[in-house]
Structure formats: structure tokens, C-alpha cells
Structure 1
Amino acid sequence: MNSTDSIINIAKQTIETEGKAILNLSNLVNNDFSEAVQLIYNAKGRVIITGIGKSAIIASKIVASLNSTGTPSVFMHAADAIHGDLGLILEDDVVICISKSGNTPEIKVLVPLIKRAKNKMIAITGNVDSFLGKEADYILNAFVDKEVCPNNLAPTTSTTAQLVIGDALVVCLLELRQFSSSDFAKYHPGGALGKKLYLKVEDISKVNEKPKVYTNASIKDVILEMTEKMLGVTAVIENDEVLGIVTDGDLRRMLTKTSNFTGLTAKDIMTPNPKCINNDKMAVDAKEVMETYGISHLLVENDGKYAGVIHIHDLVKEGII
């Protein structure tokens, strides 16, 4: 077997082994999971998530996911907690401790301190009979038979299991909160993801030029308007209503049909009844129209009146495509 085949086989075996371990987690979900979700949902305080080593990294990710979906959360490293950061935990906070073994020295020191403060504690652990498992108020079982690491040492399958348990918590909570796409946009205003959720057609079209000619405009006037506005297109209007569109393609097709432009008007070469979109629609809606009809320009209307142009390059620039 060559090295390429070997690498591919190892990768496939890793994915398949972890996949089976993750599927088994569904068999471990019980009332503790439901009660833990309801505890967090009804909590007056925040969720404090702690762990050590690779579990700490997973804790950070779960914190980020909870914060972005409406559940205020804070990461607290288990080692730092016993050296001063324990003050992060407030009276009404719920604490989640993540540990594969549930028996690490830091966890054994930290857990009694949390219990002494009378904060409710949820354990995500692969060992329900561990010190952490016995001391926690609720146990979320993240048991895996073995690590996918050939030496059964490097945290691999176990951390994937912890992550999936965290994702299950996040999804349950956002469902309970009826967390909508508009809520998501509020927490994700930056980047392409946020723009897909809040950016409207008007936000894009208003910064573009607004090319337009009337139906009786000469071909020269059409070309001048398209050149001046630099969008490769112009709307053809009457009484501020869109009747047609002239694109660079329409001009090229005209050239293949005639060499005498005298007397030709915008109405003669325009594409009638072009695809339009209202300015209060989302930018992603414009993307869908362009992709569906294979077009690169979309005329924008406001209550049936011509309001501008949106170009596919605008969507690419904004990260919508």
C-alpha cells in the first residue's frame, strides 16, 4: 500500500470510529440532560464553563456558542480558578465542569469550592462514577469506549463527544428561547454571516448609480448613460415605472443584427419585463433571484417605482456570495 492510500484509510477509519462513538451518545441522554437544560434556561445568572487541558478548549467553544445564541456564558480555566479566578462565579450562576476522567487534580480541588458556594453544577464527563460525576448535581454522559488515537492517549474522540454534548445543550436552549434568525443577526452584526441576516437590497443599491433612460432614448443616449453610470446596464422607464432593461449583452446582440442605428430607440433593443426586486427585500433574496435566472443585474423597485440597480459583484463584495 502506498503512502497516499494509507493516509486516506487512516483518515476514513478516524472519521468512522468517531462517528460511531458520537452516535452512541444519543443512547446516553437521560433526564439529567433535560433537567440541566431547564436549570440553565431558568437561571437568573450566567453559565460558567470550566475544564483543564483539551477540555478547557472545548469549554471555550461551548461558551462562544451559548453567548451567540442568547445564553450569557463565561469561560473559567480550572487551573486559574483555584488561583484566584473563582471570583468569576456569582451567586446565581450555573457551573458546567468538563473532564473526561472526572478525576484530575484540578477538578478535585475546584469541585468542593463550587459546592461550598452552593452553585448548581453540571458535569460533562466520560466517567459517571468519577469524583466529578458523584459530586455534580447533573451528569451529561460523554462516555467513549476509546480514543481514536492509536495509543488511546491523545484526547480525540473524547473531546469530540464533549463538543457534541455542548452543541446539544446549545440547540436545546435556543429552541426553548425561540431564538430566531433576527436574534442571530443581532448577535452577529459583523462578517458575511451577519450580513446575510440583516443586509437589505436598499443598503446595497443606494450606493450605486441609478442608470435610466426613457423608451424613446436614442441608442447613443443609451450607451452614454451606461458608460457614465459604469454598471453595464440601464433601466428603461416611463413615469418612473420599469418597462425594460438594456445590458451590454443587448448592445452586442444589436450589433450582430444591424449596422444602421439611425432611428433605433431604447424600446427597440431592451429586454421587456425584466426581473426586479423590492428594495426592502434581503440581499440574500437578490442572490437567489440572480442564481435562479442566471443574471448578473437586478433592477430595484420601491412600491412599483424604479429605485436603482444591484449587481452580482455587489453581493460578492459584501460576502453574500
Structure 2
Amino acid sequence: MKPTYNIKQIAINTIAEEEKTISQLKEHIDGDFVNTVELILESKGRVVLTGIGKSANIANKIVATLNSTGTPALFMHAADAIHGDLGMIRPDDIIICLSKSGSTPEIKVLVPLIKNMGNKLIAMVSGLDSFLAKEADFVLKAVVEKEADPNNLAPTNSTTAQLVIGDALAVSLLECRQFTSQDFAKYHPGGALGKKLYLRVSDLYKNDLPPKVLENEHIRPIILEISSKRMGATAVVNQKNELLGIITDGDLRRMLEQNEDVSQLLAHNIMSPMPKTISPDSLAIKAFQLMEANNITQLAVVQNKKYVGMVHLHDILKEGIV
């Protein structure tokens, strides 16, 4: 008979094991961690991360995080390093070597080569008495008692510990560099994340003719303006182009329901006064949040008290930032 397993409980136990590992890492943030951060901050070189096996995978992720948060970094596979890739290391580079045991054959070959080159060597290791830990200038202690799997073999807790220490390192560097959201946007220009950080309202409406009518316009020009500009609304302005209100498709429907004769109605009779507005320099994501909070689909754009355009929810959705 096929054995039965409580799969849900297995998953919960795994998460609990990794949660315990992460919690215990706080005890190992010490002077070596601080010295590592200060060393990188003062360095004119790059951070080169190396490792083998699953540690190499984690090193690659840490490299990506460092690069995206203002610390130049690159990955060097430990096995490839001893077959020529050591040539990528420059004199000012700092090497971070990831290894759970710190005593694998590849590490024992690589470490003396790095030391001979004169580069600073940082160990990220669980085995604090290992060859790597003893040879390193500083040790980032990714200590684990055991792995999460019942055989204590599959890299689980150990890779999680490395990942968390790597994140702690990257965030420490980020804050010490006073790395801002504007800096972050420079490294993430593509995709939804980048657009949230740099796309502005002015980028959304600049190619559209702003729908607008004067306050004394009759119903026919109002309907034509809303239809032709395809915004589902039109702004109502005075002769100075100052915003007085907004007329939406919904306002027109309500007006028709409430009045049998609409021929004498003017724009100022139909409009919703004091509409929600936004400035051209505001981030597009702020416009979306304002629309969402007020359950509306358009925002009038105002600059120096003058109406300059209109942004629609569809403009934002088309950019893919939400």
C-alpha cells in the first residue's frame, strides 16, 4: 500500500525550520559584518561573489541585488575561476566566497590563489572553523544547525541563510549610501517597477488634446467634445483657462434623467465643481492611487492654476504599472 503523507504539515514544518534559522542569524551580525560593509563602502573596486553548487546560485542572486542597489558586483564560478576566470578580478575588487562547509576541494584551491593576488577575501560560511573561515579577512556568519529536509542533506536552511545575509548586506550598503528611489529608478528603467519610479503624469497626456469646454457652452458642443477626445469626460474652464469643473459621461446621463428639456442647459449647470486634480510632475502611480481612492477614472491636470490636460485610468493601465 502506498504510504500517506500529511503534505500540508511537511510544508509547514519546512517553513518553521527556515524561520528558526533566519531568526538565529541575528545573533551572528557582529563586527565582521560591520567591517565588511565599511570595506565595500570605501572600496574603489567591485564586489566579486563566488561559490559552487547551490551556493553559486545564491551568489548570483546577491550579485543582482547589489547591482540594482548601487554596489557594482559580478559573479565568478569557483570551478571556472581556477581555469581562467580569475582574470576578471581587478586589484581593488573585494571577493566574497559563499560555502556552507567552507572546506570543499574547489574552495581549498581557490582561496590561496585569491590571497596571492592580494585581494580582500570575505567568507560567507556556516562552518566557522573551516578552511575558508580561517583564511578570510572577515567572516559573514551564515550559520545553520541543520538542513530542513529529514536527511539533513539538501541545501535548504543553508541557502536561505546565505540569501538573508546577502540581503542584509545589500540593504546595509543601500542605506549607508543614502540610495534613493530616484537612484533605484536609474537601474530599473524597464518594466512595471521602473515605471512606478519614473513615469510621470506629463508622460501620459502630452500627446493628447485636452478635452475642454467653456462654462457657457451648450449641450451639443459638450457631447461632441467628450466623444471626440475619447476621455469619457471634459474639463470646464473659463476664458483664462482656469479649471472650474468636470463633466463626465455619468454627469450627462444624470442630467438627461433629471431634465426633460436640456436645450438650455450650459456647461456650468451640468459640471461637477472642484474636481480632483493632479500636477504634471506627479508620478503616474500617484494618479492611479488618487483615482482608486476616489473611485474615478479621470483626473484633470493643472499647472500654475491653468488646465493643461487630462489623464485617464486607461492611460495608466496601458503602461502596465499596476
TM-score by length of 2: 0.96
Matched, 1:125 2:125: yes
Between the aligned partners of 2:168 and 2:59, the Cα distance in structure 1 is 14
Length, aligned pairs only: 319
Deviation at 1:8, TM superposition (A): 2.0
Deviation at 1:207, TM superposition (A): 2.4
Residues 259-306 of structure 1: per-residue CA shift (max 9 Å, x gap): 321101111111011111111111122122112211111000121111
Partner of 2:51: 51
Between the aligned partners of 2:311 and 2:321, the Cα distance in structure 1 is 13
Amino acid of the residue matched to residue 209 of structure 2? E
Matched, 1:192 2:197: no
Partner SS for 1:216: coil
Partner of 2:232: 232
Partner of 1:178: 178
Deviation at 1:5, TM superposition (A): 8.7
Contact 1:287 1:320 in 2 (8 A): no
Between the aligned partners of 2:318 and 2:16, the Cα distance in structure 1 is 38
> Runs ≥4 in structure 1, deviation > 6 angstroms?
none
What percent of counterpart residues are identical? 59
Change in Cα spacing, 1:218 to 1:4, as seen in structure 2 (3 Å) is farther
Matched, 1:316 2:317: yes
Amino acid of the residue matched to residue 78 of structure 1? A
1:37-186 to 2 correspondences below 5 Å: 37-186=37-186
Contact 1:208 1:310 in 2 (8 A): no
Partner of 1:256: 257
Partner of 2:288: 287
Structure 1 unaligned runs (5+)? none
Partner of 1:274: 275
Amino acid of the residue matched to residue 275 of structure 1? K
Between the aligned partners of 1:51 and 1:87, the Cα distance in structure 2 is 16
Between the aligned partners of 1:228 and 1:4, the Cα distance in structure 2 is 66
Partner SS for 2:210: coil
Between the aligned partners of 1:4 and 1:299, the Cα distance in structure 2 is 62
Between the aligned partners of 2:254 and 2:293, the Cα distance in structure 1 is 23
Matched, 1:20 2:1: no
Deviation at 1:7, TM superposition (A): 2.3
Contact 1:234 1:247 in 2 (8 A): yes
Between the aligned partners of 2:78 and 2:216, the Cα distance in structure 1 is 76
Residues 13-71 of structure 1: per-residue CA shift (max 9 Å, x gap): 11111011101000011111110111111111111100001100100111111111111
Deviation at 1:6, TM superposition (A): 2.2
Between the aligned partners of 1:192 and 1:212, the Cα distance in structure 2 is 31
Residues 95-140 of structure 1: per-residue CA shift (max 9 Å, x gap): 0000001111111110010011111000000101111111111111
